[in-house]
């Protein structure tokens, strides 16, 4: 199957079967989403969602973060991965928003990456989720799934390479939601260690399944769970 055909099949399937796809992080405004995405780096959305209600309650605005300090904020974050760095990032982020952005979350990738703790991936998430901009955030799920499906160059080594390939080939109107299609498929079906290929509804255009079909089926037939 040609790459162009894979993209067409990918867009057609998810447009029909997942027309609404959103981040699983809980938030009510751009500032809350920004805080949640910064906290979600190398951490599950589920764990972040456990802690953000208290953070949003007690630090509802950039001004509240800017006027806080490490000892005050750290207890809210200590159970999330890399709490020391993330506490410092949020404090710096609050001050930057107050001092340079009039307490408003900027709407461009170029401005967002000036904020502490905000890299290209986080900036792409914010701009695509809040403003539906055609930006593709590449996390581990997007990186893995897009390569397995055969949507991007198999020799791609960096998230930026994958991002450029996806943005080049996905129609602009679908880019912001395609990010969620890839993430959710990777989170629940195309798992890193044990992809659920026999449950997957898109094996008809998956490069990984094409190459490994016999092995996958033989392993399934040989597993104890498959025997009566």
For residue range 99-122, what is the model confidence (pLDDT) as tens digits?
999 999 999 999 999 999 999 999
Q: Which residues are annotated as a binding site for [4Fe-4S] cluster?
A: 190, 197, 200, 206
What domain count does the chain have?
Answer: 2
Confidence grade of residue 1 (pLDDT, cut at 50, 70, 90): confident
Q: Which is nearest to 18 in space by CA: 168, 202, 195, 206?
A: 202
Decide if 3 is catalytic.
no
Q: Which is nearest to 178 in space by CA: 148, 221, 142?
A: 142
Q: Which is nearest to 113 in space by CA: 165, 61, 101?
A: 101
Last residue of a domain, one of 131, 153, 174: 131
Confidence grade of residue 220 (pLDDT, cut at 50, 70, 90): confident
pLDDT of residue 162: 97
Task: Identify whether the C-beta of residue 146 lies closer than 8 Å to the C-beta of residue 156.
Answer: no
For residue range 50-106, what is the model confidence (pLDDT) as tens digits?
999 999 999 999 999 999 999 999 999 999 999 999 999 999 999 999 999 999 999
Task: Establish if 57 belongs to a structural domain.
Answer: yes
127 and 140, same domain (yes or no) = no
State the residue range of the domain holding 12: 3-20+136-212
107 and 156, same domain (yes or no) = no
Q: In terms of DSSP H, where are the helices of 70-206? A: 70-77, 83-100, 109-112, 120-131, 140-149, 159-169, 172-188
9 and 45, same domain (yes or no) = no
Last residue of a domain, one of 76, 107, 131: 131
48 and 120, same domain (yes or no) = yes
Q: Which residues are annotated as a binding site?
A: 190, 197, 200, 206
39 and 110, same domain (yes or no) = yes
Q: Which is nearest to 34 in space by CA: 105, 110, 88, 121?
A: 105
For residue range 2-53, what is the model confidence (pLDDT) as tens digits?
999 999 999 999 999 999 999 999 999 999 999 999 999 999 999 999 999 9
pLDDT of residue 225: 56
pLDDT of residue 218: 83
- CA distances (Å), 159 to each of 44, 74, 124, 138, 192, in order? 19, 30, 12, 6, 16
Catalytic residue among 86, 95, 96, 121: 121
For residue range 118-158, what is the model confidence (pLDDT) as tens digits?
999 999 999 999 999 999 999 999 999 999 999 999 999 99
Catalytic residue among 45, 86, 139, 165: 139
127 and 45, same domain (yes or no) = yes
Decide if 139 is catalytic.
yes
């Amino acid at each position: 199957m040609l790459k162009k055909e894979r993209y067409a099949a990918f867009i057609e399937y998810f447009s029909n079967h997942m027309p609404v796809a959103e981040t699983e992080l809980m938030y009510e405004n751009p500032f809350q989403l920004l805080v949640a995405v910064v906290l979600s780096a190398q951490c599950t959305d589920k764990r972040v969602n456990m802690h953000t209600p208290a953070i949003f309650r007690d630090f509802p605005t950039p001004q509240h973060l800017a006027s806080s300090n490490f000892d005050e904020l750290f207890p809210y974050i200590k159970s999330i991965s890399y709490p020391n760095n993330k506490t410092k990032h949020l404090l710096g982020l609050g001050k930057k928003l107050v001092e340079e952005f009039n307490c408003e979350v900027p709407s461009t990738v170029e401005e967002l990456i000036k904020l502490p703790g905000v890299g290209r991936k986080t900036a792409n998430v914010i701009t695509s989720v809040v403003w539906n901009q055609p930006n593709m955030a590449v996390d581990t799920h997007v990186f893995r799934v897009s390569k397995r499906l055969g949507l991007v160059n198999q020799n791609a080594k960096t998230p930026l390479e994958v991002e450029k390939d996806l943005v080049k080939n996905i129609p602009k109107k679908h880019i912001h939601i395609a990010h969620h299609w890839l993430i959710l498929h990777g989170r629940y079906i195309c798992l890193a260690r044990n992809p659920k290929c026999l449950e997957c509804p898109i094996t008809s255009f998956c490069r990984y399944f094409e190459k490994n079909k016999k092995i996958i089926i033989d392993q399934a037939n040989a597993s104890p769970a498959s025997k009566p």
